[in-house]
Amino acid sequence: MAGNRLPATLSPDDLALFQAAVRDAQPIADHGRIAPDPVAAPPIPKSLLRDEQQALADSLSDYIGWDDGLETGEELVFIRPGLRRDTLRKLRRGHWILQAELDLHGMVSVEARQAVSAFIAQCSKRGSRCVRIIHGKGLGSKNREPVLRTKVKHWLMQKDEVLAFCQARAVDGGSGAVVVLLKSG
């Protein structure tokens, strides 16, 4: 065998076995063709992948710094920095017509998070400006506490589409619901 290209770690018995196996092999005739260079795989955008993983982790996070919103006693209140305070006052007084509603009763946290995310995306796509999310008062929960109330607050604060939200008026659900103002189209 001319030009032994086999690994040096091959034992003499293995080498003899290989040579016996390829004894009758004929080299391929040269047709003058040039083999194309192997196509290089496209580069992997590692920073983009890291950014997407971080965005996914942030979207699933329940944590938001308390200084991002305005909390007055037990009431649920939030307004994006840079918006006028009268926007919040108008939202509290029912200035905008409720255009859509999501009821989270009977859902566990994971289901509720997905439902809120899908609802906000759908409302934004449709151009809805003011919506209501009913999270409940927690009367049916363990310890009779509103588990989803705080979580809904955190989820909404993470959504860029959300400009402001506040506890619904008594006629619209009171402490068991939140009214959300979304960015306009």
Give me the residue spans of the domains in the chain: 71-182
Non-local (6+) Cβ contacts of 80 within 8 A are 162, 163, 164
Which CA distances in Å does 103 have to 83, 99, 132, 137, 177? 28, 14, 8, 12, 9
Check residue 158 and give its pLDDT: 92
Q: What are 72-126's pLDDT values in tens digits?
A: 445 678 999 988 888 989 999 998 899 999 999 888 889 999 999 999 999 999 9
* Strands, sheet with 130-134, edge to edge from the N-terminal-most edge strand: 77-79, 162-167, 177-182, 130-134, 100-103
Check residue 11 and give its pLDDT: 86
Non-local (6+) Cβ contacts of 78 within 8 A are 68, 69, 70, 153, 156, 157, 162, 164, 165, 166
> Residue 101 pairs with which residues in a beta bridge?
132
Question: Who wins on pLDDT, 22 or 8?
Answer: 22
Rounded to whole angstroms, the Cα distance separating 72 from 76 reads: 8
Check residue 57 and give its pLDDT: 60
Q: What are 128-173's pLDDT values in tens digits?
A: 999 999 998 866 666 666 678 889 999 999 999 999 999 999 888 8
What's the number of CA atoms in the CB half-sphere (13 Å) around residue 51?
Answer: 4
Is the pTM value of this prediction over 0.85?
Answer: no
Check residue 117 and give its pLDDT: 94
- pLDDT beyond 60 at 58: no
Per-residue pLDDT, averaged over 21-40, amounts to: 83
Residue type, 2: A
Per-residue pLDDT, averaged over 6-12, amounts to: 73
Question: Who wins on pLDDT, 38 or 68?
Answer: 38
Determine whether domain 71-182 maps to CATH 2.60.40.420.
no
